[in-house]
Amino acid sequence: MRRGIETSPNGFHLAPFDISLTKRKTWLQRQIINPIETLEAALAPENTPHFSHWEQYGDFRPPSREPLLAALAELRKEADILQADFEEEISGEVAGKISHTNEIRHYVVYVCLSELHECYPDLKLSRGNWDKKLKVATGPIPDFVRRVFLETTGNHEQLDGPIQRNMNTI
């Protein structure tokens, strides 16, 4: 998870930058998909004469475009899959209900609690006790989750809400 946070746009300090899924979808369309479509059209067999010059006396044989077209098709496939994933999050069933960074936040907490429960099935998962002075729930479980969260995301957060919501799902 940490590597995913470090390498993809999100709101955590470890991320390369933060950008919305809508802007990422638009970027993929403009910077990857549109240029691929232009290149594929330019490399069509009927455009081969553009790669010849009369001084070659017809001896020019253009290199096979197939490896390049295959690589472009793979890149296009990857971009299409990402765009579909982004579109599902942008306008699908959970659209607008949770931001991308919050989704990561809840997922890290969920996995942490799930793994803890799986490794120690007899351990009673508890949200801890509310410390009025610190204004945070304290105890071994929330302290453990916060530490794992810090190591995973690089952010120190209270996490009382995500811990409480995820306790109900485990």
Low-confidence ranges of the chain (pLDDT < 50): none
Spatial separation of the C-alpha atoms in residues 163 and 127, rounded to whole Å? 7
Cα 122 from chain centroid? 34
pLDDT digits (tens, 9 = 90+) for 105-143: 999 999 999 999 999 999 988 989 999 998 889 999 999
- In this prediction, residue 97 carries a pLDDT of 63
Neighbours of 89 (CB within 10 A): 20
- In this prediction, residue 169 carries a pLDDT of 85
- In this prediction, residue 96 carries a pLDDT of 64
pTM: 0.76
In the chain, domain spans: 10-91, 100-167
